[in-house]
Amino acid sequence: MRLCQENDKSTVTTGLLVLSDGTVFEGRGFGATGAVVGEVCFNTAMTGYQEILTDPSYAGQIITFTFPHIGNVGVNPEDIENISDAASTAARGAIVRAPVTTPSNYRAQIDLPGWMKRRGIVGLAGIDTRALTARIREQGMPHGVIAHDPAGNFDISTLQAQAAEWRGLEGSDLARDVTTVKSYSVEQTAWKWGEGYGKQDDPEAPHVVVMDFGVKRNILRLLSTENCRVSVVPAQASFDDIMELAPDGVVLSNGPGDPAATGQYAVPVIRQLIEHKMPLLGICLGHQMLALAVGASTRKMLQGHHGANHPVKDHTTGKVEIVSMNHGFTVDETTLPDNVEQTHTSLFDGSNSGIALKDAPAFSVQHHPEASPGPQDSYYLFQRFVDMLPKNKK
């Protein structure tokens, strides 16, 4: 089935999305040229496209934006969330409805198509993103190839075969592809209007080690803002590697791929940290692996949760928060052991969004409390974690 450009069927087709079942969406390509394969998902956020496209949790995925106007404020170097500039460390492609226009914002330094071209991200505009989103909601996230050729030369059968043969995210350890290759320290604090980023400079502050499974910069910034000295270690760091840094607490970061696959090497380390009574905070993939470490299991979701408008209830306070989410796997709450309390629940579908251990200083959330660019309802979780650290315990 071929679906032509939504707005102008007479325009030359320079971009395609070809799904594994043979469905073809025709539109206008932008950004990088070539063809890339990935899992096609949709994101419902109205702002923050640059932060979304540079979130390492989107590695291996092609993002369909449900908000029609993407790119209007351009791109700037301050809003990049991943550490590496390599295209493989974040989203592979972007699909939008309206053509990307010239940016109008005082912070913009380059337009979105030019920036995507530099980073190797393939773009597709002019398709019916509503139809694609409805398809994903009903049938799940398909495998697809997004392709851009200014001359409009495409071999659709080859692209379909490429999509059909792709192994997908289940069983894939993508944290190895996005993690840092060596440890480093962070001093940058959160961005403030008119001031930019600050600096954490207290040598006596608690020391937090972050296991980088695909960490977002704003997680590191908010830990520094809470007056923590922050060190980042690779995903494959051992228990001894972490303890040599003398941490007061450890953060298990967000990241892409199948948590069970990454857990093959990370879960044993997390179990040792739990046994050592190390204060732990897990975020997104880190949440899922904390659950795996205590004996629970995870499962693939049909359409996942991707957006900045998800309602989540915090059972410890009774409050409902609007949060940012980005995950295609979830913790199976029916497998949680007796020593684990379910602290947060998604009000969209009732899925698990947070846990806390009853016999160890450890908790985690499925959503993104750092939520760059927002919302900020869950910032308190960083303070909750910092209050658990030995140097701050009252």
Grade residue 330 by pLDDT with cuts at 50, 70 and 90. very high
CA distance 97 to 81: 24
The answer on pLDDT for 28 being more than 60 is yes
Residue-wise pLDDT tens digits, 94-153: 999 999 999 999 999 999 999 999 999 999 999 999 999 999 999 999 999 999 999 999
Residue 10 has pLDDT above 90, yes or no: no
Catalytic status, residue 204: no
CATH of domain 175-388: 3.40.50.880
**Is the pLDDT at 9 greater than 60, yes or no?**
no
The CA distance from 136 to 132, in Å, is: 6
Quick check: is 69 catalytic? no
**DSSP output for 30-95:** EES-EEEEEEEEEE--SS-HHHHHT-GGGTTEEEEESSS--STT-B-GGG--SS---GGGS-SEEE
Mean pLDDT, residues 323-344 = 98
pLDDT band at 6, cuts 50/70/90?
low
Looking up tokens 């932008």 gives 30
Q: What is the pLDDT of residue 88?
A: 64
Which of 166-175, 184-193, 306-315 comes out lowest in average pLDDT? 184-193
Of 26, 39, 51, 370, catalytic: 370
Question: Between the CA of residue 393 and those of 166, 189, 260, 281, 369, what are the distances in Å?
Answer: 49, 22, 33, 16, 22
Structure tokens at 358: 């009853």
State yes or no: pLDDT of 183 exceeds 80: yes
Task: List where CATH 3.50.30.20 sits in the chain.
Answer: 2-165
Place 316 in a pLDDT band, splitting at 50, 70 and 90. very high
Whole-number Å distance between alpha carbons of 41 and 219: 23
2-165 — its CATH code? 3.50.30.20
> Is the pLDDT assigned to residue 366 strictly greater than 80?
yes
The whole-number average pLDDT for the span 300-307 is: 97
pLDDT for residue 297: 98
**Which position among 284, 305, 306, 321 bears the catalytic label?**
284
Ranges for all domains in the chain classified under CATH 3.40.50.880 = 175-388
Is 275 catalytic? The answer is: no
The model's pTM: 0.95
| Banded model confidence at residue 5, pLDDT cuts 50, 70, 90 | low
How many other β-carbons are positioned within 10 Å of the β-carbon of residue 394?
3
